[in-house]
Amino acid sequence: MLSSVPDQVGLEHMAAPDGQLVTQHRLTLMYAGAEERAKQAGDLISAVGFEPQYVGHIRHARNLEALAELYIVSKGWAMSMVA
């Protein structure tokens, strides 16, 4: 796996990575993966308009996934997950 870029950013912000809907500053997208591929993944994230933030080895992806879960729950999209 090249990297892990979870759903930290909602669909509404995917269309506006320049931050126009929130801060007027380019939005940061955190990612994890092999250090030797971090620049390549960061360049791709930057190419689609986000500010890349490498957080380390792929083992740190679990922390990013937790952020994604909080986002999903906060939007009310995961009611069936909460039991």
Give me the pLDDT at residue 2, please. Answer: 47
* pLDDT, position 1: 42
pLDDT value for 83: 52
CA-to-CA dists, residue 5 to 21, 34, 39, angstroms: 21, 13, 14
pTM of the model: 0.71
| Tens-binned pLDDT, residue by residue, of the chain (83 aa) | 445 554 566 767 777 777 777 777 888 889 999 999 999 999 999 998 899 999 999 898 888 888 888 877 887 776 555 55
